[in-house]
A and B are shown apart, each in its own frame.
Chain A
Amino acid sequence: MCAICGCGTATSGKPAAHHHRHHPHHHHDNHWHGADGSINFGTEDSSIAAPGTDEARTIRIEREILAKNDVYARANRSRLAAAGQFALNFVSSPGSGKTSLLIRMITDLSSQFAIAVIEGDQQTSNDADRIRATGVPAVQINTGKGCHLDARMVGHALDQLPLRSGGLLCIENVGNLVCPAAFDLGEAHKVVVLSVTEGEDKPLKYPDMFAQADLMLLNKADLLSYLDFDVTACVAYARRVNPGIDILTVSARTGEGMTAFHRWIEERAPNGRRDVACAPT
């Protein structure tokens, strides 16, 4: 159900495809629901009319340009805290293995946590379909031309997810090592995934993302013996950008290193247990 207009409540099961244009002056709020359950965002022309006077003047203001995103992010954070959710925002370039990593995590941890997933991609619901095949609820956000998820999109996705106490919410951001760094979604931690098939100097080339993350997962470790990837150098570069970052080497394919990653989550998640008392929304 959409929290803004409440649509989707009148139909049983999956609501029909429909548009939301709640606030014509806020074209940011426009989105539409696809027949596959995806939430779709795209640009539409905004039309802003304001009454005024002819008097020329200078107004001094101090306003953060991303203040609105931050308001949505704070709302998401409070909502997740109230629901006993531990949220991770997975960021990486495309093809680092985020979805495979999540599927491995779900397989290993679903008896311990009520896991839910938000998938962000420009197009298709392929990733959400892969996640749902594991039996875990997933919402696909299609950003249209957008290169990142923002907190407002995640708020809409939360409306559609069963948030159980002691739950683990995984947000898989759009594959992009640049733009998602600027947008707080309300998560507890950003987790940056870097695969060893990429260059070891990625942390220096894209420092913003590594500076924002609390954990770096060095994925596809099973391929290390076939590559010239220098793990020591990569770790040193990541620590140069972010001295406090935790780093774990993993393989979503073989499961190597995943126990350490699970421990990392368990140490931080407030309620690492399944509690079925909360009904789906």
Chain B
Amino acid sequence: MHEISIAESLVDLIADEARDQRFARVKRIAVKVGALGHVEPAALIFCFDAVARGTVAEGAVLDVQTVPGKGWCRRCRCSVAIMHRYDLCPLCGQSHVELTAGGELRLTELEVE
């Protein structure tokens, strides 16, 4: 379950921010997770709750925003929605699309006090 390492990295990032921006507690954390990335949101939330214990992020709500998969079809020269990394372009059905969204794993917002 690599989500535990990712949750630890997230808690580390928040600890850095706590030192830099001088806050003592985090109430809400917003992260963007790509639908075609390496992370299962439910597993990340589960791991985060355990890893955050005893840190400034303990008890914080982890708000995971899923970013849908999107790709660029060179043949159709347009952006298309994709469900899997290996989907062919839904318009022409022939070309592999270049992933442009859906691989994110980013901390975007902290509600702190």
Q: Nearest chain B CB to A121's CB is how many angstroms away?
A: 16
Q: How large is the interface on B (under 10, 10 to 19, 20 to 34, 35 or more residues)?
A: 35 or more
Residue in contact with B9 in the complex, picked from A45, A52, A65, A204, CB distance below 8 Å: A65
Residues in A with CB closer than 8 Å to B84 are 207
B11 adjacent to chain A (CB < 8 Å): yes
A280 adjacent to chain B (CB < 8 Å): no
* Assembled-state Cα–Cα distance A64/B31 (Å): 10
A47-81: which have CB < 8 Å to B?
A: 47-48, 50-69
A22 adjacent to chain B (CB < 8 Å): no
Residues in A with CB closer than 8 Å to B31 are 65
**If the complex has contacts A25-B15, A51-B24, A208-B38, are A66 and B8 also in contact, measured as CB distance less than 8 A?**
no
Counting chain B CB atoms within 10 Å of each CB, the highest count among A25, A66, A204 belongs to A66
Number of A-B pairs, beta carbon distance below 8 Å: 126
Residues in A with CB closer than 8 Å to B112 are 52, 56-59
B45 adjacent to chain A (CB < 8 Å): no
* Assembled-state Cα–Cα distance A178/B23 (Å): 36
B75 adjacent to chain A (CB < 8 Å): no
Residues of B within 8 A of A (CB): 1-2, 5-6, 8-13, 15, 17-19, 21-25, 27, 31, 38-39, 53-56, 84-86, 96, 105-113
* 6 A-B residue pairs with CB within 8 Å: A59-B109, A150-B5, A178-B2, A207-B86, A241-B85, A241-B86
Give the 4 A-B CB pairs with smallest separation, nearest first: A52-B24, A179-B2, A50-B18, A182-B38
Seed contacts A57-B23, A66-B9; 15 additional CB < 8 Å A-B pairs: A27-B8, A46-B55, A47-B55, A48-B11, A50-B19, A50-B23, A52-B112, A56-B113, A57-B113, A59-B21, A62-B106, A68-B12, A146-B5, A150-B5, A182-B2
